[in-house]
């Protein structure tokens, strides 16, 4: 699997290259600035991009904006964004097209190699990988009773939290120590309560996460 990596700190960039190569990823390019990232994504057409939000020259959200521009040019391009801090707006922008193949992790997560590599695989496969701290922060802004999330039971909110992290039904069932069938039922209830109808064009799990993020505005 070919990866374009963008990180301006040499030591972290080098460490990520070594970590990904050790898990059989091919590094198509490892760059340190926004302009380099833009060129690499356009010319190399990687299977997945792992991108620091803040890159030179602006050191603001250059990496995120480069990744979003690349996704508009190549819809569905898998992008995993790394950030030093929780920025809810960044997560919302990544998920905005509802197609999946996106992730948002705090940089601290890369020190857990298994967790980080799993997130890269999930994003590359078209899933989502949202940082637990992003989700937890949103939970503190619990939906009011008259909002869509207010219709969910505590267990359904728990399932949605894990769904937002990009976990499969099987993984959620394992973590909550219930059957996969029970999780499928909760998932179906969540989609119904959030008015997410079956569609060939949209990923309902991503749309459910979007609804979740919208409630935290």
At 138-176, the pLDDT tens digits run: 555 544 444 677 788 889 888 988 887 778 899 999 999
Q: Are residues 43 and 100 in the same domain?
A: yes
At 141-151, the pLDDT tens digits run: 544 444 677 78
Q: Are residues 110 and 169 in the same domain?
A: no
Residue-number span of the structural domain to which 112 is assigned: 2-144
What is the structure's pLDDT at 197? 77
CATH number of the structural domain spanning residue 11: 3.40.50.2300
Burial 89-128, CB ≥16 within 10 A → b, else e: ebbbbbbebebbbbbbbebebbeeeeebbbbbbbbbeebb
Specify the pTM.
0.73
Q: Are residues 162 and 131 in the same domain?
A: no
Query: Roughly what angle, to the nearest 10 degrees, separates helices 154-164 and 180-193?
Result: 100
Q: Are residues 138 and 164 in the same domain?
A: no
If one counts the domains in the chain, the total is 2
């Amino acid at each position: 699997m070919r990866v374009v990596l963008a990180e301006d700190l040499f030591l972290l960039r080098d460490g990520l290259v070594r970590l990904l190569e050790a898990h059989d990823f091919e590094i198509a390019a490892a760059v340190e600035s926004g302009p380099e990232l833009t060129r690499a994504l356009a010319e190399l057409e990687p299977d997945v991009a792992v991108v620091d939000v803040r890159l030179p020259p602006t050191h603001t959200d250059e990496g995120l904006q480069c990744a979003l521009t690349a996704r508009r040019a190549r819809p569905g391009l898998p992008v995993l964004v790394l950030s030093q801090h929780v920025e809810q707006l960044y997560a919302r922008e990544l998920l905005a097209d509802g197609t999946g193949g996106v992730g948002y992790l705090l940089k601290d997560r890369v020190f857990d190699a298994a967790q980080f590599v799993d997130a890269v695989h999930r994003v590359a496969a078209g899933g989502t990988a949202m940082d637990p701290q992003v989700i937890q922060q949103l939970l503190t802004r619990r939906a009011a009773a008259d909002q869509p999330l207010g219709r969910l039971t505590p267990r359904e909110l728990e399932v949605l939290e894990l769904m937002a992290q990009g976990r499969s039904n099987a993984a959620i069932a394992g973590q909550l120590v219930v059957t996969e069938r029970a999780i499928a039922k909760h998932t179906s209830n969540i989609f119904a309560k959030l008015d997410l109808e079956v569609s060939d064009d949209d990923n309902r799990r991503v749309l459910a996460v979007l609804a979740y993020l919208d409630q935290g505005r």
